[in-house]
Structure 1
Amino acid sequence: MPAPKISVIVPAFNHEAYVVDALNSVLGQSLGDLELIVIDDASRDGTWDAIQSIRDPRLRALRHEHNRGAHATLNEGLGLASGDFLAILNSDDAFHPERLARMVAALDSDARLAFSGVDFIDSDSQPAPGHERALDYASACARCAGQPPASWLLTSNLAITTSNFVFPRSLFQRIGGFSELRYTHDWEWALRASTDTPPLWLPEPLVRYRVHPSNTLAEDDVWRHIHENAYIQTLALGGSLDGLDAEGACTALLHNTSLPPLATLCFGIAARRLADDTALRALTRPGPDGWFLRQLAQATGLNDGVFRSARQLADQQSALGAQQCLIDERWATIQQMSGIIAERDAALQAQAELIEERAQAMAHMSAEIAHRDEAITAQGRLLEERFAAMEEMGREIHARDQIVSEQSAVIARLMATPWNRLRRFVTKLRH
C-alpha cells in the first residue's frame, strides 16, 4: 500500500470539548491523501470517548494508560507516521481546510520546517484578536516581516505552537525527536530544524490557535519558564545566524519578549563549560538542591528577580517610573496641602484664642451668676422668714379680734340689761 502524502499527529489530553473539532478539521482537508494518528495521553475527562465517536479509515487512535507528556507523545506519533510529510495538531486547535495542501505545495522538495500565519480563537471558536497572546504574535510578525529568516527564532517563536509545524519526514529522521522540555519543546525543535536551513514562513493564517484558561502557557511555573527560555536563547545564539550582523542579532534578541538577559548569560557561560547539550538541557529541570539560577542568586546574595525576562524588567522599570511620577505628584499635592493646612492651623489658633477669651468671660459671668444666686437665695430665706412672721402676726390679730368680738358681745349684753338702760336714760335726762 503506498504511503500517504502526509501524516498528521494529534497528541490529545483533557480536551473533550475541542478534540472532535480538531480531528474533523484534519479529515476535512482539501488534501485528502493523509493519515491521522491521534494519541490520548491518559486524559482524565471524556477525550477518549470523543475520539472514538469519529469513524474514518484514515484515523488511527491510541491511548496511554499513564500520562507521558507532550514531547514523548509527539515522538511516538511521529515514529508511527508513514507519510512523506509530517504535520502536528494539538487537540484544542484546528486547521484551515486548505492548510495541508498549501503547506505541502510551498515546501515542494525542500527538506526544512514550514509554518504559516495564525488565527486566534477562544473557547467558543470565536475570533480572539484582542487576546494578549494574539497581540504579542501580531507584534512579532510585524518585527519579523522585514528581517532575514535567521532572525525569526531569535525574535520569537514565530510558529507559536507545534500545531503550526509541517516538515518532510526526512527532516525528522535526520534531527531526531522533541526534547523533554515542558514549555519550549516546540521552539527547541524548531531551532534544531533550522540549524542548516532557515524555516519557510507562509504568512497566511492557516491554523487556528485556541486560547483558553487551560492552555499550557497559562500555567504558573515561573522558574521553569525562566530556565527553559534561557536555554532556548542560548541555543538560538549558538545556531546559524547567516545573514545577521552583530547589531541585527542583538536587535532581534532584544525584541524577544521572553528573553531573560541575565539567565541567558548564565546559560551561555554554562554551555561553554559543560560537556554537551544534554548536560545544558539538564539545567532546565530542578536538581537535588533546587533550580540552577535560584541557587546562583542565593550564592551571590542577589534578589532572584534579576533573572526575569526583559519584558518583565522593562515593565517593572516602567511601573517604577510611573510610581515615581505619582509620588512626585502626590508630594506636590502634599506640599500644597501643607500650605493650606498651615493657613487653617492659624485660623484654628485664632479661633481657639477667641474661644478661650469667651470661656474666660463665661467663667466670670458664671461666678457673678453664682453670687447673684446666693443673694437671691438669702433674700428668699429672708422673705420666707418675714412671711412666716406675718402669718404669725395674722394669727395673733385674729385671736385678738376674736377676744374683742367676744368682749363686744359681753358689753352689748350688759348694755342691754334694764339697769344699764335706766342709767343711760337718767344720764340723758341730766344733760
Structure 2
Amino acid sequence: MQVSPRVSAVIPTFGRPELVVRAVRSVLAQTMADLEVIVVVDGPDEATGQALTRLGDRRLRVIELPEKGGAQNARNTGVRAATAPWTAMLDDDDEWLPQKLAKQLAAAQATDAPRPIVASRLLNRTPRAEYAMPRRLRQPGEPWSEYFTVRRGLFHGEGFIQTSTIMAPTEVLRQVPFAPKVPRMQEMDWVLRALGTEGTELLYVEEPLVIWYQDENRPRITFEEKWQQSLDWLRRNESLVTKKAYAAIVMSVVSSMAAPTHSLKVFWLLLREAQRKGRPGFIDYVTFLQIWLIPPALRRTLRDKALSRTSSPQAELV
C-alpha cells in the first residue's frame, strides 16, 4: 500500500548531475520516509536525467522542462506538481541533514499559526570555514525586512533566510509563487510577500538543518546578475521593506554587486539612493565603505576567519 507523502521536496537543477544527486540523496535519507522528491530540470539535460534514473527510488519524480526558464520558474513548476500538504525547497548544490523535515514538521504542529512557514538555521560551509547562520533569531516586534537585512556588526548573516531551509504549506506556495525576475534575495522577496497573506507566519527551528555550500569558484546565478536589476526590484517593492531595510539593502546587497565596476558615479548614485529613500545607520555606512574599498576575496577571508572563531553549530544553540 502506497502512503501519501506528507512533504514534497522540490529541487530545481540544470547541468550539475553530481550535485543534484547529492541533494536528492539527502532528501531520501530523511528520518521520515513519507515524502516525495520532485526534481525539475530546467531544460534538456540528458546527463542529469541519466544520473537521477540510476538512483532507482520510487519517491523520486523528474520533470524536464522543454526550455530554460530559470530557477524560480522551475520551483513554481515543482510546487504545482507537488501532492503533499507541505512543500520544502532545496537548491541542487545544498543538502539537508537527516532530521530536517521531521524537526520542521514538529515545529509546525507546535505553533498556533494557521499557515506556518518553517525555516531553520544552516551550516554555511565555505572553502575556508564553517559556521552557523543566522547568528541570531528575530526579536519580538522586529520587522522581518529589518531582521533579514539590517546589520548590527560588520558581517552579514545575523538575520538570514535561505531557500533550502524553507518548508511551507503547499497552498501558500501556490497562492504566492516565486517571482521569476528577482535577481537576488529571492527568498526574502517570497517570504515578505507570503507574510502578507492571511494566517501566514514565519518561524525558525533553532538548530542548523541544512548545509549551504558556498563554493566561490562555482558560478552561481545570483553572482552573475547586474546590480541595476536588484536596485530596480527594490524600487518596485519598496512597500515590502522599512526605510532602515531599504538603506541596508542598497548599501550592502546592491553595493556588493556594483562595487566591481569601480565606478564613482555608481558609488554616489547608491549612496544618494540609500539616503533619499532609506534611513541608513552607522553600520550601513561602514559596510558601504568596506564593500567599495576592500577587495571581495579579502573581505570573504576576513569574514570567515572572524565568524569561524566566534560561531560554531553548538554555540548557536545556546
- Greater per-residue helix proportion: 1
Bigger RCO (CA 8 Å, 6+ sep): 2
Task: Tell me, yes or no, if the aligned pair for 2:72 and 2:179 is still in contact at 8 Å.
Answer: yes
Q: Which amino acid aligns with 1:77?
A: G
Task: Tell me, yes or no, if the aligned pair for 1:10 and 1:38 is still in contact at 8 Å.
Answer: yes
1:156 corresponds to 2:140: no
> Residue 224 of structure 1 corresponds to which residue in structure 2?
229
> Residue 312 of structure 2 corresponds to which residue in structure 1?
none
**What is the Cα deviation at residue 88 of structure 1?**
0.8
State the distance in 2 between where 1:218 and 1:88 align.
Answer: 20
- Max Rg structure: 1
State the distance in 2 between where 1:58 and 1:320 align.
Answer: 48
Task: Tell me, yes or no, if the aligned pair for 1:154 and 1:233 is still in contact at 8 Å.
Answer: no
Count of residues in Structure 1 that have an aligned counterpart in Structure 2: 256
Identity %: 24
Task: Tell me, yes or no, if the aligned pair for 2:183 and 2:225 is still in contact at 8 Å.
Answer: no
> Residue 341 of structure 1 corresponds to which residue in structure 2?
none
Written as runs of structure 1 = structure 2, the 5 A alignment for 1:95-244 is 95-108=96-109, 110=113, 111-122=115-126, 128-129=129-130, 137-138=133-134, 141-142=135-136, 145=137, 147-148=139-140, 150-156=142-148, 158-173=159-174, 175-180=175-180, 181-195=182-196, 196=198, 197-212=200-215, 213-237=218-242
**What is the Cα deviation at residue 129 of structure 1?**
2.4
Q: Which amino acid aligns with 1:225?
A: S
> Residue 387 of structure 1 corresponds to which residue in structure 2?
none
Written as runs of structure 1 = structure 2, the 5 A alignment for 1:283-322 is 303-308=265-270, 314-315=286-287, 317=289
State the distance in 2 between where 1:43 and 1:150 align.
Answer: 44
State the distance in 2 between where 1:84 and 1:121 align.
Answer: 31
Written as runs of structure 1 = structure 2, the 5 A alignment for 1:14-413 is 14-42=15-43, 46-108=47-109, 110=113, 111-122=115-126, 128-129=129-130, 137-138=133-134, 141-142=135-136, 145=137, 147-148=139-140, 150-156=142-148, 158-173=159-174, 175-180=175-180, 181-195=182-196, 196=198, 197-212=200-215, 213-237=218-242, 250=244, 253=245, 257-260=248-251, 303-308=265-270, 314-315=286-287, 317=289
Structure 2 gaps of 5+ residues are 150-158, 255-263, 275-282, 295-318
State the distance in 1 between where 2:237 and 2:212 align.
Answer: 22
TM-score (norm 1): 0.52
State the distance in 2 between where 1:90 and 1:80 align.
Answer: 17
**What is the Cα deviation at residue 37 of structure 1?**
0.7
Residues 235 and 317 (structure 1 numbering): CA distance in 2 closer, same or farther, change over 3 Å? same
**What is the Cα deviation at residue 4 of structure 1?**
1.2
Equivalent residue of 1:68, what SS?
A: coil
TM-score (norm 2): 0.69
* 1:305-340: CA deviation from partner (whole Å, max 9, x where unpaired): 334376785455469999xxxxxxxxxxxxxxxxxx
Please give the root-mean-square deviation of Cα atoms over the aligned residues, in Å.
3.3
Residues 167 and 318 (structure 1 numbering): CA distance in 2 closer, same or farther, change over 3 Å? closer
> Residue 424 of structure 1 corresponds to which residue in structure 2?
none
Equivalent residue of 2:22, what SS?
A: helix
State the distance in 2 between where 1:206 and 1:199 align.
Answer: 16
Task: Tell me, yes or no, if the aligned pair for 1:226 and 1:307 is still in contact at 8 Å.
Answer: no
**What is the Cα deviation at residue 162 of structure 1?**
1.5
Residues 115 and 318 (structure 1 numbering): CA distance in 2 closer, same or farther, change over 3 Å? closer
Residues 315 and 102 (structure 1 numbering): CA distance in 2 closer, same or farther, change over 3 Å? closer
* 1:18-38: CA deviation from partner (whole Å, max 9, x where unpaired): 111100000010011101111
Residues 232 and 94 (structure 1 numbering): CA distance in 2 closer, same or farther, change over 3 Å? farther
State the distance in 1 between where 2:292 and 2:34 align.
Answer: 57
Residues 314 and 17 (structure 1 numbering): CA distance in 2 closer, same or farther, change over 3 Å? same
Residues 318 and 54 (structure 1 numbering): CA distance in 2 closer, same or farther, change over 3 Å? closer
State the distance in 2 between where 1:205 and 1:182 align.
Answer: 26
* 1:112-159: CA deviation from partner (whole Å, max 9, x where unpaired): 211000112247xxx8327xxx7xx55xx33xx362264233232645
